[in-house]
């Protein structure tokens, strides 16, 4: 019996472990006005404080909403909360609409894109200045791109049951999550084929970039076989400085060592920018990474930090707690941006990645073939006969390899369905297999086809689609108790921000920042 078969047998005998899996979502979405233009209005007060509301905040731009769920034991619970937070938001943004696409709507001139504002406390200014630094380093337009982050954790009891390496539970858990990440890195190209939904872009986003794109509609350009321009070089990807940062997922110590080096090493181009302009802070420092979260990866090992603790220190002290999948496009065909079928496939895929053998990467953990495969699929994933390089250094057809992976995932889908008298996870798997066998079913192909059939531009088509989603959300009843809870949270978050500002008013920002940087050594 193989290692995989042994582990599947173990899971089948311990199905309660699967019921303890948790998943949560962070879903971004631009606020746009009735013309499809990014709004210039402040974060609505009815939504609470962007600094302190744990369910509704902003990411980069003031108009880039981030809607957050708590971790849930089932996809149904997850979707319910994500639906409720969307319903509350659309009821409190007036004529504005949540842009349900990953690539942006019409954007104003770059200087007019407002960076997220979190108040005048040191805590709030830290978040704002960090985003100023992102604007200096990468430009504002790129950071108006949106996505869905899927947070996934497995129960502690699973790791020893699967006989993961490690003397302690913490070591077993961290090694198990890193094994998951290595397999995710090998196979994540499949997610881009199945769920990539950003094959087109508005002309004004290109901003005179000279790229080999084809015009497919008014003011609309694409790569003909692309699945996700968001995850291509056109989108939110690592630029020159971060290209030097090759994080290793072979072991946690090496990962943290390289992360710490990037967070403490000055990058010459950023040093030329400096930290101040006209007496104002414009970036937190001139290092390769201002803070750890600046590293743009498709998946991250995560641990919730305590107060006065940096993310890397939390990982070093207590190990990996969960993973954050960051490469998912918004599903433009679903009012809340993530379908139940997609979430179920992700559950099975991540369990597959955690359970299947996951040898360490050679050559220092740089996994170049996997990165090349991913890059190929985001730009030409639907191209007939596309070849990828597998772990045996052999060229294989995407379709054949994808079928093999989905076939290997079948036992994991059956485990999720076992005892439920339903086949929801197996149905989700079958739905994705159909996409592999017919690429026209992929959301990237569907979007391109429907856009061209409409005769509209990308912005007009997407605004009409987003507006229809808004009306659907408005017409779906929201229990008064749930709405009242959101309102109470919004009010209390504003009070919490005011308290923070009062408590920090006499502490110079320079001292606050110096203290934060010093936490990297603890």
- Residues 17-72 have pLDDT tens digits of 899 999 999 999 999 999 999 999 999 999 999 999 999 999 999 999 999 999 99
Q: Supply the pLDDT for residue 362.
A: 84
Three-state secondary-structure class, residue 311: helix
Q: Supply the pLDDT for residue 240.
A: 67
Q: Please answer whether residues 366 and 400 qualify as being in contact, where contact means their C-beta atoms are separated by less than 8 angstroms.
A: no
| Burial of 77 per CB tally in 10 Å (0-12, 13-18, 19+) | middle
Q: Please answer whether residues 409 and 349 qualify as being in contact, where contact means their C-beta atoms are separated by less than 8 angstroms.
A: yes
Q: Please answer whether residues 118 and 129 qualify as being in contact, where contact means their C-beta atoms are separated by less than 8 angstroms.
A: no
Q: Supply the pLDDT for residue 417.
A: 96
Helices then strands, each counted (H, E), the chain: 20, 14
Contacts 24+ apart (CB under 8 A), 59-62: 59/28, 59/116, 59/143, 59/146, 60/115, 60/116, 60/131, 60/134, 60/140, 60/143, 60/144, 61/30, 61/113, 61/114, 61/115, 61/116, 61/140, 61/143, 61/144, 62/114, 62/115, 62/116, 62/117
Listed in sequence order, the residues at least 6 apart from 425 whose beta carbon sits closer than 8 Å to its beta carbon are 344, 345, 347, 348, 412, 413, 414, 416, 417
Q: Supply the pLDDT for residue 507.
A: 92
Confidence of residue 521 (pLDDT cuts 50, 70, 90): low
Q: Supply the pLDDT for residue 172.
A: 97
Q: How confident is the model over 93-125, as pLDDT tens digits? A: 999 999 999 999 999 999 999 999 999 999 999
Token pair, residue 140, equals 């504002």
Average pLDDT over residues 252-277: 94
Confidence of residue 239 (pLDDT cuts 50, 70, 90): low
Nearest residue to 296 via CA among 233, 202, 377, 364: 233
On the question of pLDDT at 210 being above 60, the answer is no
Query: Which stretch of 153-157, 242-246, 253-257 has the lowest confidence by average pLDDT?
Result: 242-246
Q: How confident is the model over 310-348, as pLDDT tens digits? A: 999 999 999 999 999 999 999 999 999 999 999 999 999
Neighbours of 476 (CB within 10 A): 13
Q: Supply the pLDDT for residue 211.
A: 64
Confidence of residue 466 (pLDDT cuts 50, 70, 90): very high
Average pLDDT over residues 267-274: 96
Average pLDDT over residues 462-486: 98
C-alpha–C-alpha distance, residues 390 and 118, integer Å: 45
The helix (H) or strand (E) run that includes residue 193 is: helix 189-195
Average pLDDT over residues 377-391: 96
**HEC sequence for 42-87:** CCCHHHCCCCCCCCEEECCECCEEEEECCCECCHHHHHHHHHHHHH
Confidence of residue 519 (pLDDT cuts 50, 70, 90): confident
On the question of pLDDT at 467 being above 80, the answer is yes
Q: Supply the pLDDT for residue 221.
A: 94
Q: Supply the pLDDT for residue 204.
A: 84
The sign one gets for the Cα dihedral 212, 215, 221, 225 is: negative
**Domain 3-521 class in CATH:** alpha beta
Residues in the chain: 522
Q: Please answer whether residues 252 and 319 qualify as being in contact, where contact means their C-beta atoms are separated by less than 8 angstroms.
A: yes
Token pair, residue 54, equals 């744990």
C-alpha–C-alpha distance, residues 389 and 380, integer Å: 15
C-alpha–C-alpha distance, residues 424 and 342, integer Å: 11
On whether the pTM is more than 0.85, the answer is yes
Domain boundaries in the chain? 3-521
On the question of pLDDT at 152 being above 70, the answer is yes
Q: Work out the mean pLDDT of the chain and round it to a whole number.
A: 94
Average pLDDT over residues 266-295: 95
Alpha carbon distances (Å) from 141 to 127, 287, 336? 18, 22, 23
Q: How confident is the model over 291-303, as pLDDT tens digits? A: 999 988 899 999 9
Nearest residue to 19 via CA among 419, 511, 461, 440: 419
Confidence of residue 209 (pLDDT cuts 50, 70, 90): low
Q: How confident is the model over 387-424, as pLDDT tens digits? A: 999 988 899 999 999 999 999 999 999 999 997 889 99
Confidence of residue 233 (pLDDT cuts 50, 70, 90): confident
Express as a percent the part of the chain with pLDDT over 90.
84
On the question of pLDDT at 493 being above 90, the answer is yes
Nearest residue to 332 via CA among 407, 230, 403: 230
Residue with structure tokens 């994500």?
82
On the question of pLDDT at 237 being above 60, the answer is no
Listed in sequence order, the residues at least 6 apart from 104 whose beta carbon sits closer than 8 Å to its beta carbon are 30, 38, 141, 144, 145, 146, 202, 205
Q: How confident is the model over 416-461, as pLDDT tens digits? A: 999 788 999 999 999 999 999 999 999 999 999 999 999 999 999 9
């Amino acid at each position: 019996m193989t290692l995989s078969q042994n582990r599947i047998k173990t899971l089948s005998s311990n199905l309660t472990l699967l019921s303890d899996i948790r998943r949560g979502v962070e879903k971004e979405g631009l606020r746009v006005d009735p013309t499809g233009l990014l709004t210039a209005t402040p974060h609505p007060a009815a939504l609470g404080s962007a600094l302190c509301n744990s369910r509704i905040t902003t990411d980069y731009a003031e108009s880039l909403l981030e809607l957050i769920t708590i971790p849930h034991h089932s996809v149904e619970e997850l979707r319910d909360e994500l639906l409720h937070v969307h319903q509350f938001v659309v009821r409190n943004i007036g004529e504005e609409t949540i842009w349900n696409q990953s690539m942006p709507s019409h954007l104003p001139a770059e200087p007019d894109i407002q960076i997220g504002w979190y108040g005048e406390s040191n805590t709030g200014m830290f978040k704002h200045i960090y985003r100023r630094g992102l604007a200096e380093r990468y430009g504002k337009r790129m950071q108006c791109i949106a996505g869905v982050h899927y947070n996934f954790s497995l129960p502690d009891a699973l790791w020893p049951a699967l006989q993961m390496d490690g003397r302690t539970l913490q070591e077993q858990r961290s090694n198990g999550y890193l094994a998951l990440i290595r397999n995710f890195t090998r196979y994540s190209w499949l997610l881009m084929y199945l769920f990539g939904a950003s094959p087109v872009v508005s002309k004004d986003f290109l901003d005179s970039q000279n790229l080999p794109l084809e015009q497919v509609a008014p003011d609309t350009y694409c790569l003909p076989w692309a699945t996700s321009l968001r995850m291509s070089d056109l989108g939110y990807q690592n630029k020159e400085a971060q290209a030097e940062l090759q994080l290793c997922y072979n072991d946690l110590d090496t990962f943290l060592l390289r992360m710490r080096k990037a967070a403490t090493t000055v990058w010459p181009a950023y040093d030329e920018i400096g930290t101040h302009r006209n007496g104002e802070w414009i970036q937190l420092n001139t290092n390769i990474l201002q803070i750890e979260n600046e590293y743009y990866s498709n998946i991250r090992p995560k641990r919730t930090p305590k107060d006065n603790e940096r993310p890397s220190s939390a990982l070093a002290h207590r190990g990996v707690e969960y993973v954050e999948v960051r490469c998912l496009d918004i599903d433009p065909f679903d009012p809340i941006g993530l379908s139940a079928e997609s979430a179920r496939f992700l559950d099975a895929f991540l369990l597959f990645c955690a359970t299947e053998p996951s040898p360490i990467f050679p050559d220092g953990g740089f996994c170049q073939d996997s990165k090349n495969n991913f890059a190929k699929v985001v730009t030409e994933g639907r191209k007939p006969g596309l070849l990828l390089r597998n772990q045996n250094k052999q060229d294989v057809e995407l379709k054949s390899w994808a079928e093999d992976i989905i076939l290997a995932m079948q036992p994991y889908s059956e485990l999720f369905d076992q005892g439920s008298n339903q086949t929801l996870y197996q149905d989700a798997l079958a739905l994705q297999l159909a996409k592999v066998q017919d690429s026209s079913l992929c959301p990237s192909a569907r979007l391109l086809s429907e856009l061209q059939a409409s005769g509209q531009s990308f912005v007009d088509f997407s605004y009409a689609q987003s507006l229809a989603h808004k009306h659907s959300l408005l017409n779906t009843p929201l229990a008064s108790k749930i709405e009242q809870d959101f309102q109470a949270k919004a009010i209390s978050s504003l009070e919490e921000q005011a308290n923070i500002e009062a408590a920090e008013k006499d502490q110079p920002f320079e001292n606050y920042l110096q203290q934060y940087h010093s936490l990297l050594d603890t």
